[in-house]
Structure 1
Amino acid sequence: MPLSEYEQRVLEQMERALTSDDPRLANTLQSSGRRPVVRYVIAGVGLAVGLLVLVLGAASSNVWLGVVGFAVMFGAVGWAFAFAPRAKRGPGGVVRPDGRVGHRPAGGRTKGASGGPGLMSRLEARWDRRRDQGR
């Protein structure tokens, strides 16, 4: 049975409150918890093969073979961590003061997680205060 509009609004308000109060907890609760195990296994195999080629190159005094082994090791580790799962964003909608639910503004967030002014606004205000004090 789907939620009523009132229940959806209340749920979205609770999500927003949780996200603003403790964003780390909200991200933890929203994450799927599934790790890309196959990617790490393949990277581990690539790392082992690269190390083997590097040692064989050093043992046979072939510099180019050692360089290839190092490149394979470096590529395997880089590939494993290049596509790390990104943190999910908070709720997709915004509850307006009149109670209607709307979409998040296209320009992104203009306020920080605490609901106050954004980082750039605070830095600009601090810069202006310092500049005015110097006069």
Structure 2
Amino acid sequence: MPLSEYEQRVLEQMERQLTSDDPRLANTLTARGRKPMSRYVLAGAGAVVGLLLLVAGAAASLAWLGVIGFVIMFAAVAFAFASPRQSGPAGVVRSDGRVTPPRKKRQGGLMGRLDERWQHRRDEGGR
């Protein structure tokens, strides 16, 4: 069941109020990038498999099997702690309630970062 016009207006008003009261909270609520739990489960399973291969390689005196087990364990832990790729940045909620799309990062080194900061200050009105 869709919302009535009145309910939509009230909801939009509540969103604007939240954004004006606490813009950081609004940005946090609209931001993406939480690591899904399945990522940790998969990494844990990989670490267990790698540990089993490492122990089996040591018990059977097969160094190559132990090395493969170690590499699998290392890859699983690296996978667990690496940041996942995001499908796309959510944007930034400004204090007036508008959502601005994120800017693409430039690869220009120091000058690019300084230019980006200058542009950000101009957009924010001197903050």
Could you tell me the TM-score, scaled by structure 1's length? 0.48
* Cα distance change of structure 1 residues 105 and 79 upon mapping to structure 2, 3 Å threshold: closer
1:57 shift after superposition: 1.9
C-alpha contact (below 8 Å) 1:53/1:65 kept by paired residues: yes
How many matched pairs?
Answer: 103
1:1-135 superposed matches below 5 A = 1-4=3-6, 7=10, 10-20=13-23, 23=24, 25-26=25-26, 29=29, 36-84=36-84, 89-91=91-93, 94-95=96-97, 104=100, 107=103, 120-121=117-118
Query: What are structure 2's unaligned runs of at least 5 residues?
Result: 105-115, 119-127
C-alpha contact (below 8 Å) 1:54/1:67 kept by paired residues: yes
What's the Cα RMSD here?
4.3
Query: What are structure 1's unaligned runs of at least 5 residues?
Result: 96-101, 109-118, 122-135
1:3 shift after superposition: 4.5
Provide the residue aligned with 2:124 in structure 1.
none
Name the % identity.
38
Whose radius of gyration is greater, 1 or 2? 1
Quote the Cα distance in structure 2 between the aligned partners of 1:30 and 1:106.
13
* Cα distance change of structure 1 residues 47 and 103 upon mapping to structure 2, 3 Å threshold: closer
